[in-house]
């Protein structure tokens, strides 16, 4: 199995890799995305799988007839800017390798089996995460998706059409959703729990509540060299105070929060910017702590904005409630993949398509050990032995679920 995994990995790894940074730039509906879709389709066809693209742009490879009560696995192939190689791709490559492993063992699934690749999981181009799975489940409306634009003002529909797909039927897909009997996503752990436990594979029990909030600070553009300090309405000041307030609030609430994706207008050294647009990414073990964190950040931002004669427009851009995957499914897979002792069942602060699907179908995840815990960075990695252990675990899980 390691040779098929290695070959699959070698075929995907160069696509969208930035030679200077070693990170990945894989964004929806770009030429790199098209190359990746071609790669996936060819590998699925090589396994006698039929491939279809659904109305939202998610890719589905079916072993056997698409049908009800299917066992579905897979993940995403898009990345954050300068992202790591494993976040997403490990789940898709492992799924294809697990199909090989099932074939090698002569296991004929008694239920349809599919490998899915969800589009725009990171939201790196259009700003909204888990877009493909949220369109599928109806958690995001077609209207909202149509209104999304990238930094260059290209809409989701335009980008999809330019990639040769028909954007006219975006939206919830209940028939397709009804085909899914159970969904299991394999993913590199984005943290160090398994490394600390000394376990190669774990099962996801819960996903922390988390979300993204927008904060737009508007002041007065002016000359950097001639405007007295007392005469300024510089949005950078309340923005800077907000960043430190975010850190304080996260520590205070036993949570994690980050200010990222920051845009200055204009962004040059001899102008005071008129506007600073920023995203707050906040996550906490519980919703009360999360809400309290965001409220205290918003208050600090408002007070700082008022002090500097700057206005603040803030709003919730996306919110994901806590997800508890079905205990019975998690315990069953922990036993199936754990060997002589059950695999650990753990929580995560990372959002995943499995957590979106969990609102509609039984779903959970398998995590593969990440020795450094680093993710969303070029240094992200998993050891080959743990990748192979992940494929074996996914194979066992699929064998167990397709035999049911």
Binding-site residues for Zn(2+) = 76, 87, 122, 187, 376
Q: CA distances (Å), 50 to each of 63, 66, 155, 167, in order?
A: 7, 9, 30, 22
Q: Residue 73 Cβ, how far from ligand HGY at the closest point, in Å?
A: 17
By a kind-dependent CB cut-off of 5 to 8 A, residue 88 interacts, out of ligand HGY, Mn ion, none, with Mn ion
Cα 235 from Cα 220, distance rounded (Å):
8
Contacts to ligand HGY from residues 93-132, by CB under 6 A:
121-122, 129
**Which residues make beta-bridge pairs with 208?**
none
Kindly write out the interface string for residues 189-228 of this chain, putting x where it contacts ligand HGY by CB under 6 A and - elsewhere.
Answer: -x--------------------------------------
Q: Which is nearer to Mn ion, 88 or 205 (CB)?
A: 88
Residue in 23, 37, 53, 52 with CA at minimum distance from that of residue 132 = 53
Contacts to ligand HGY from residues 129-148, by CB under 6 A:
129
Q: Which is nearer to ligand HGY, 314 or 348 (CB)?
A: 348
Residues with Cβ within 8 Å of 78's Cβ and at least 6 positions away in sequence, in order, are: 26, 27, 28, 33, 88, 119, 120, 121, 122, 124, 125
Q: Which is nearer to Mn ion, 191 or 238 (CB)?
A: 191
Residue in 186, 120, 99 with CA at minimum distance from that of residue 382 = 186
Q: Is 116 exposed, middle or buried (0-12, 13-18, 19+ CB in 10 A)?
A: buried
Kindly write out the interface string for residues 275-294 of this chain, putting x where it contacts ligand HGY by CB under 6 A and - elsewhere.
Answer: --------------------
Numbered residues of the known binding site: 76, 87, 122, 187, 212, 270, 283, 376
Residue 83 is encoded by which pair of tokens?
A: 């992202």
E-assigned strand segments in 208-250: 210-218, 222-223
Contacts to ligand HGY from residues 56-95, by CB under 6 A:
87
Q: Residue 328 Cβ, how far from Mn ion at the closest point, in Å?
A: 25
Contacts to Mn ion from residues 82-141, by CB under 5 A:
87-88
Q: Is the peptide bond before 201 cis (omega within 30 degrees of 0)?
A: no
By a kind-dependent CB cut-off of 5 to 8 A, residue 43 interacts, out of ligand HGY, Mn ion, none, with none
**Cβ-proximal residue to Mn ion, closest one:** 87
Q: Which is nearer to ligand HGY, 88 or 338 (CB)?
A: 88
One residue of 205, 338, 351, 390 binding ligand HGY per CB under 6 A? 351
Q: Which is nearer to Mn ion, 23 or 88 (CB)?
A: 88
Kindly write out the interface string for residues 152-191 of this chain, putting x where it contacts Mn ion by CB under 5 A and - elsewhere.
Answer: ----------------------------------------
Provide the 10 A C-beta neighbour count for residue 216: 16
Instruction: Using CB under 5 A, count the residues that bind Mn ion.
Output: 2
Q: Residue 121 Cβ, how far from ligand HGY at the closest point, in Å?
A: 6
149-170 core/surface letters (b: 16 or more CB in 10 A; e: else) = ebeeeebbbebbeebebebeeb
Q: Residue 112 Cβ, how far from ligand HGY at the closest point, in Å?
A: 27
Cα 138 from Cα 389, distance rounded (Å):
34
Cα 187 from Cα 193, distance rounded (Å):
14
Catalog residues that contact Mn ion under the rule CB under 5 A. Answer: 87-88
Catalog residues that contact ligand HGY under the rule CB under 6 A. Answer: 87, 121-122, 129, 190, 350-351
């Amino acid at each position: 199995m390691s040779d098929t995994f290695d070959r699959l990995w070698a075929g995907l790894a160069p696509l969208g890799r930035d030679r200077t940074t070693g990170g990945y730039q894989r964004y929806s509906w770009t030429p790199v995305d098209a190359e990746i879709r071609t790669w996936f389709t060819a590998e699925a066809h090589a396994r006698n799988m039929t491939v279809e693209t659904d109305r939202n742009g998610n890719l589905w490879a079916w072993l056997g007839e698409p049908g009800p009560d299917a066992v579905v696995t897979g993940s995403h192939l898009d990345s954050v800017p300068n992202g790591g190689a494993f976040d997403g791709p490990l789940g898709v490559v492992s799924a294809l390798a697990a199909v090989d492993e099932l074939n090698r063992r002569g296991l004929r699934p008694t239920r349809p089996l599919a490998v899915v690749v969800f589009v725009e999981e990171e939201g790196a181009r259009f700003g909204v995460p888990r877009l493909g799975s949220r369109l599928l489940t109806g958690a995001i409306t077609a209207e909202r998706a149509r209104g999304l634009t990238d930094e260059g003002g290209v809409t989701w529909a335009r980008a999809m059409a330019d990639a040769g797909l028909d954007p006219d039927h975006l939206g919830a897909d209940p028939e397709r959703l009804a085909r899914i009997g159970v969904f299991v996503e394999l993913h590199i752990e984005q943290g160090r729990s398994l490394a600390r436990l000394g376990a190669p594979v774990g099962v996801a029990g819960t996903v922390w509540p988390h979300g993204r909030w927008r904060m737009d600070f508007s002041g007065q553009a002016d000359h950097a060299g001639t405007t007295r300090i007392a005469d300024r309405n510089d949005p950078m000041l309340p923005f800077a105070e907000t960043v430190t307030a975010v850190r304080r609030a996260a520590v205070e609430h036993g949570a994690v929060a980050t200010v990222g994706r920051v845009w200055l207008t204009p962004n040059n050294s001899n102008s005071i910017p008129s506007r600073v647009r920023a995203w707050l990414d906040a996550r906490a073990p519980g919703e009360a702590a999360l809400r309290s964190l965001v409220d205290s950040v918003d208050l600090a931002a408002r007070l700082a904005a008022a002090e500097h004669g700057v206005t603040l427009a803030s709003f919730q851009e996306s919110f994901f409630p806590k997800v508890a995957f079905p205990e019975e499914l998690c315990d069953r897979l922990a036993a199936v993949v754990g060997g002589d002792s059950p695999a650990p069942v753990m929580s995560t602060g990372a959002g995943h398509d499995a957590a979106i699907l969990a609102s509609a179908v039984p779903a959970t995840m398998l995590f593969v050990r990440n020795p450094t815990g680093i993710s969303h960075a070029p240094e992200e990695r998993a050891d080959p032995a743990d990748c192979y252990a992940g494929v074996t675990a996914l194979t066992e899980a699929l064998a167990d679920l397709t035999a049911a």
